[in-house]
Each structure stands twice: as structure tokens, then as C-alpha cells.
Chains A and B, each alone.
Chain A
Amino acid sequence: MNATHATQIIDGYLKRLDSELSSFPTARRKELEAQIAEHIAQARQELPEETDADLLTILDRLGEPDEIAAEARASLDIKTAKPGPVEIFALLFIGVGSVLFPILPVAWVLGSGLVWRSRAWTPREKYFGVYLPLVVGLAILAISALATGLFGRHTLLQVAFLGFVVANLLMPLGTAIYLGVRLGRRLPVLAWAAIAIIAIAVYLPAAATFIPAQASAFIGTPLGEEALTPVVGQPVCKGFYGSVRYAGGLPLAATAPVSVGICWDGTRVTKTWGPDCYPTSGPALRVDVQTCTVQTEPDGSLIISVQSSATAMTAPLFTQSGGMGWRITPDGKVMQF
């Protein structure tokens, strides 16, 4: 006669043992699990009439799965399994994927699944590297989403966004760093180099959005500056060429240019064509122009203003927006404000 909860009790124990041994080489793990299962079966045969309490005594005498695992690790000189492509992808999914796809933590969850399956991390490392951050992160996400939906006011929206950033960016990034450090030198240098290159490719555009934008403008032709002093009654017509340059000075640079055709005669500036705003995105930054306007002032000068933003191609959450304006006075001078 089997004890009432025989299956639950024994399966539960063997499952815990299996998870403790998860970082062992398969052959060692299978052998140890078979030995323990046989031990339990043999011990049960000796019982005249087994009860749940008897089974618990058998398991109690066997010891906690983590004790058995620790002993096996020591006496069999077990190193955790050698990390390979699965671990590399896991680190990339968690550390980089969350920046690439920030709206839903899909990459993070996928990466966590890979970590969970991997034998390169110990159960303890998996707890701190998968369970804990996922639960906390998803909780923060849920609360942020709820707060936004319920209140939607400006300040609360910012709080919600902060929660979003913490949950979707900082938590996975921290997790990936922790898991990576735990792997350390077990991962070949070449693999680390590949991870570093991909991480830089993704994070560099994000970092580029923190570089202040620069603005410049001149009057002339597309080829260069060519301002002329007008004679009253004889207007001069040229082009105005302004630009807002994001991450200027870097190969990652991208610009939001504006060009307007203008004529001025010393008393007033008039527009002949434009404004033309054709943003040029760089390899790392995407530029969007929100507004691009030209407006005549009562004193005869012309106001040109451009509102634009640059977003990291690899990290949609990283964006910089800039408003830039120029005043062209009736005598053909450009002032930036």
C-alpha cells in the first residue's frame, strides 16, 4: 500500500534535487538522481506499512537536495557546465534585447528562459538572475501601466515612465551584468568580444542622444556663405540654410536642416520659397521634424523655427528633442535664439 501523498512527496523531492543538480554534467546528474531514486525505492520496500510520515523520514535522513548537491560538487570536483552559444544569446537577449525592444519585455523573458535552461549557472545564480528580477520588474511594469491608465496626469506619467525605464532597461541590464560576471572567464574571450561589440553597437546610439545638439545657419547658396549688403530699393535674394546637428563631430551625426528662400532690402525680409525641412538620419540616430515654420515679424524681420528630435535607432527610449530658432533682420543678419 502506498502512502497517501507518496507521489507528491517523492516527486517533489526528486524535482528539487534535479534543480539543484542542474549545473552538473548530464551523466553525473542522471547517475546521482538514479541512485537517490533507487535508495528511496529500496527504503520503501523495507517498510511494513508506509505512511506519509515514513516517507518524510526517509527523505529527511537522505538530507536536503542542496546538501547532497554540495557534497557531490566537492567530492566529484564538479564545475558547472561550460557556457556556450545558449549563454551568449541569453546575455544578449537580456542585456541588449531590452533596449532594442523596450515596449514589452519579450527579449528579457526569452533570455530568462534560456538562462533557466542553461547548466552554466547554479540554481542560486538563476534565482538572483531570473526569478527575482523578472518578478520585481514585471510588478513595476504592471504598477506603472496601472498608474498611467488610472491617472494619466503629467507628474504621474513621469513617475510611470520612470518605473517603465527601471523595469524595462535597468533591471535587465543589471541582471545581464550579474549573470555575465558569474560566468566570468568560463566564457571564452572571443565570446566576450562579440558580446561587447554588439552591446556597443546598441548602446552607443543611445549614448549619442546625450550629446547636446548644435545649431548653425548662414545666408548664401547651398555651397556656402555669400551674404550681400543690399541697396535700398534693390532687394537681394539668397537662401537661408540652417541646421540642427545631433551628435555633431561623431560619425553617428544626424541633422535636421531647414532652408528658406529669402529676399531683403534693408526694410523688410520676405520669403520666396520654403521652408524646406528634410531631416537626414545618421547611421545611429533617426531625426524627426515636428514643426518647421516661417513667420514675419512687425519690424520686417523673419523668424524661422524648427522643432526636431533625434532618436537612437537601436534604443527607441533614448531620444533628444531640440527647438531652434533664427531671426533674420531686414539688413540680412542672422541671429540665433
Chain B
Amino acid sequence: MVRAEDRTGLIAQMRRGALEYCVLALLATRERYGFELVQNLAEVDGMVITEGTIYPLLTRLRKDGEVDTFWRESSSGPPRRYYQITPLGTAALKGFRSEWTRFRSAVDQLLESAR
């Protein structure tokens, strides 16, 4: 029982850790407003469980200087707060991308070889 709980906790930790780079990756293609960003993340199965938890993450990324916000008029309603990636965020994403690729293939290799 305890082992299973540990495992769900670990998955949650991994998801939380990876989530911020997924956000950066989405913002690397183009700037997005909050709801749009959340939608894009939610479209990928297993990435986001509660959408509201994205916002504290965005705030932290902004505080860390990896993301910027600006307002833009909307054609169908009030102005929207847009999020865009900064050079610092781009660098962080680049670093994570190479680390992640190595990590993922290492884990894959070991899991596959033991099958």
C-alpha cells in the first residue's frame, strides 16, 4: 500500500517538475493567454489534472523571469493577459530538453531491456 502511494506521489512530483517546461515549450512557439494555454495543456492526456494549478506556476515563472506578461485587446471581450517566453525561459527550456532526452532514453533503455 505504502509503495503504491509513494509511486503516485512520485508521478505527481514528476508531472509538476515537467509541467513548467511544457508551459515554456508551448510559449516558445507563440504567446498565449491563460485559458488558451490551459486548454492546450489539457488536450494532452495525463498532463494537467486541475487546471487552476497552472496559474501559480505561471506566476512563479514570471517571478523567475522565464515568462513575461502583457495585455492585448480581444475582439470578443475584455483585454487578455498574454504570457510570452523570455530569453531566460528559452535557455531554461533548451537545458531541460537535452537533459530530458538523455534521461528519457536512459529510462526507456533500462525498462525495455528488463522486459
Q: A residues engaging B (CB < 8 A)?
A: 28, 31-32, 34-36, 38-39, 41-43, 45-46, 61-65, 67-68, 71-72, 75-76
Q: Chain A residues near B38 (CB, 8 Å)?
A: 39
* Pick from B34, B53, B56, B59: contact of A38, CB under 8 Å: B34
- In whole angstroms, how far apart are the Cα atoms of A124 and B39 in the complex? 32
**Contact (Cβ within 8 A) A63 B51:** yes
Q: B interface, by DSSP: helix, strand, loop or mixed?
A: helix
Q: A interface, by DSSP: helix, strand, loop or mixed?
A: helix
Q: A35-B81, A38-B34, A45-B76 are in contact. Are A61 and B50 (CB under 8 A)?
A: yes
B10 interface residue per 8 A CB criterion: no
Q: A39-B34, A42-B33, A68-B52 are in contact. Are A31 and B80 (CB under 8 A)?
A: no
A-B interface pairs (CB < 8 A), number: 74
**Contact (Cβ within 8 A) A35 B34:** yes
- In whole angstroms, how far apart are the Cα atoms of A336 and B15 in the complex? 83
Q: Chain A residues near B76 (CB, 8 Å)?
A: 45
Q: Chain A residues near B42 (CB, 8 Å)?
A: 61
Q: Chain A residues near B51 (CB, 8 Å)?
A: 39, 61-63
B57 interface residue per 8 A CB criterion: yes
Q: A75-B56, A75-B57 are in contact. Are A67 and B50 (CB under 8 A)?
A: yes
- In whole angstroms, how far apart are the Cα atoms of A121 and B52 in the complex? 23
Q: Chain A residues near B77 (CB, 8 Å)?
A: 41-42, 45
**Contact (Cβ within 8 A) A76 B34:** no
**Contact (Cβ within 8 A) A63 B52:** yes
Residue of A nearest to B20 (CB): A75
**Contact (Cβ within 8 A) B52 A43:** no
* Pick from A43, A45, A76: contact of B56, CB under 8 Å: A76
Q: A45-B76, A45-B77 are in contact. Are A38 and B50 (CB under 8 A)?
A: no
Q: Chain B residues near A46 (CB, 8 Å)?
A: 35
Residue of A nearest to B35 (CB): A42
* Pick from A42, A71, A72: contact of B80, CB under 8 Å: A42
- Report the minimum CB–CB distance from B31 to chain A (whole Å): 15
A to B CB contacts below 8 Å, 21 in the list: A31-B59, A32-B59, A34-B81, A35-B59, A38-B80, A39-B52, A41-B77, A42-B33, A42-B35, A43-B35, A61-B51, A63-B49, A67-B50, A67-B52, A71-B53, A71-B56, A72-B56, A75-B16, A75-B57, A76-B56, A76-B60
Residue of A nearest to B81 (CB): A38
Kindly supply a per-residue 1/0 record for chain B positions 44-84, scoring 1 wherever the CB is within 8 Å of any chain A CB and 0 otherwise.
Answer: 00000111110111111001000000000000111011000
Q: Chain B residues near A45 (CB, 8 Å)?
A: 76-77
- Report the minimum CB–CB distance from A47 to chain B (whole Å): 12
